[in-house]
């Protein structure tokens, strides 16, 4: 990312860029910055392709066309899947591309063995945007708050992250809501976060599993009905319940082996700061109970898909069974 920023700052731009990785917010931010650096306000010589049906032949023909009253023809290709398959012709073309043709590729996933990936690596710049770690996000949030002249403690920032998750676009949106809500104050509190910020569905599932562990059937069902009211599909809720039980089982097994939070995070895909919460929740269930719960989710899904039970009722009965 440092080299990419340097390219944009100095204007010493490569002919080909690949921006890829799971952090969509950063991919889009740098896509727009590169577009501005390469083409400015020129819309006539800047072209955008998106989706799996992108025609590489059309891209190559366009690249061979001289730009109109401009030094560059900029071609932006997003979510094409060409870095997994189908990009061979484009890979070959990049080795002899027209001098005026500049490319920006944006993908969530790539195959580093693909010919197109190797071609970009040889001729341009590749930047990966992975999900940012907790400390990086904390600094980013603190910086945005400081620019708005808002005070927020580190503890409140971490509380905010627990509620909103680590998706940077969602964090930015929730922060904007907080800034507006506290317009007449210079401090953001956890009470403000509770009042204004929207809880992720996965957080509500976490609360639901806690209610199941505590045998609070009324609360567990209320959370389920809230999710239905928010138009969450019952089968997605079932998937998330099963995923939660599976994560708890993994965390419990890792704890038994004596792994620390960082190691558990690496093995389960959880964020470091969430491992403690998951370990505490896992301790409320016996290992056999978690395995049975995962199997019960699979059985419920099978019943729904074979038409033996309605999806809304199937998930409701599962919640009732495990909260009795």
User: Is the full-model pTM beyond 0.85?
Assistant: no
**What is the pLDDT averaged over residues 140-157?**
94
Alpha-carbon Rg for the chain in angstroms: 24
**The tokens of 118 are what?**
């190797």
- For the sheet containing 101-107, what is the strand order? 46-50, 73-78, 101-107, 16-20, 125-128
Burial tier of 248 (Cβ tally within 10 Å: 0-12, 13-18, 19+) = buried
Helix locations, the chain, DSSP H:
2-10, 24-39, 56-64, 88-94, 115-123, 134-147, 154-164, 168-181, 190-196, 201-213, 217-229, 234-256, 261-268, 272-282, 287-305, 311-323
Evaluate if residue 51 carries a pLDDT over 80. Answer: yes
**Which pair of structure tokens corresponds to residue 283?**
């301790």
pLDDT at 94: 93
Per-residue pLDDT reduced to its tens digit, 253-277: 999 999 988 899 888 888 777 788 8
pLDDT of residue 304: 92
Residues 6 or more apart whose CB falls under 8 angstroms from that of 146 comprise none
Residues of the chain above pLDDT 70, percent: 100
- Express each pLDDT in 165-202 by its tens digit: 888 988 999 999 999 999 999 999 999 998 888 777 77
Give tens-digit pLDDT for 212-257.
Answer: 888 889 999 998 998 888 788 899 889 989 988 999 999 999 999 9
pLDDT tier for residue 310 given thresholds of 50, 70 and 90: very high
């Amino acid at each position: 990312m440092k080299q990419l920023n340097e390219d944009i700052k100095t204007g010493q731009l490569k002919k080909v860029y690949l921006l890829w990785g799971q952090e969509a917010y950063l991919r889009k931010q740098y896509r727009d910055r590169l577009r501005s650096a390469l083409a400015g306000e020129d819309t006539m010589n800047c072209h955008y392709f998106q989706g799996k049906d992108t025609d590489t032949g059309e891209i190559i023909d366009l690249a061979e066309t001289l730009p109109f009253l401009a030094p560059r023809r900029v071609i932006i290709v997003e979510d094409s899947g060409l870095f997994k398959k189908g990009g061979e012709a484009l890979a070959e073309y990049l080795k002899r591309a027209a001098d005026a043709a500049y490319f920006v590729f944006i993908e969530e996933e790539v195959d580093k063995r693909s010919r197109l990936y190797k071609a970009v690596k040889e001729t341009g710049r590749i930047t990966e945007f992975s999900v940012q770690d907790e400390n990086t996000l904390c600094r980013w949030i603190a910086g945005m708050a400081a620019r708005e002249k808002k005070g927020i403690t580190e503890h409140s920032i971490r509380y905010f992250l627990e509620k909103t998750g680590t998706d940077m676009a969602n964090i930015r949106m929730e922060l904007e809501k907080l800034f507006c809500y506290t317009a007449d104050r210079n401090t953001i509190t956890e009470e403000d976060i509770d009042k204004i910020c929207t809880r992720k569905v996965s957080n509500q599932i976490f609360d639901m599993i806690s209610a199941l562990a505590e045998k609070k059937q009324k609360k567990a069902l209320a959370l389920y009905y809230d999710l239905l009211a928010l138009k969450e599909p019952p089968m997605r809720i079932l998937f998330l319940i099963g995923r939660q039980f599976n994560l708890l089982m993994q965390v419990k097994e890792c704890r038994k082996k004596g792994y620390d939070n960082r190691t558990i995070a690496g093995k389960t895909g959880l964020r470091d700061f969430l491992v403690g919460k998951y370990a505490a929740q896992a301790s409320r269930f016996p290992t056999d109970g978690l395995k049975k719960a995962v199997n019960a989710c699979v059985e419920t899904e099978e019943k729904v898909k074979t038409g033996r039970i309605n999806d809304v009722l199937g998930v409701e009965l599962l919640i009732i069974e495990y909260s009795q």
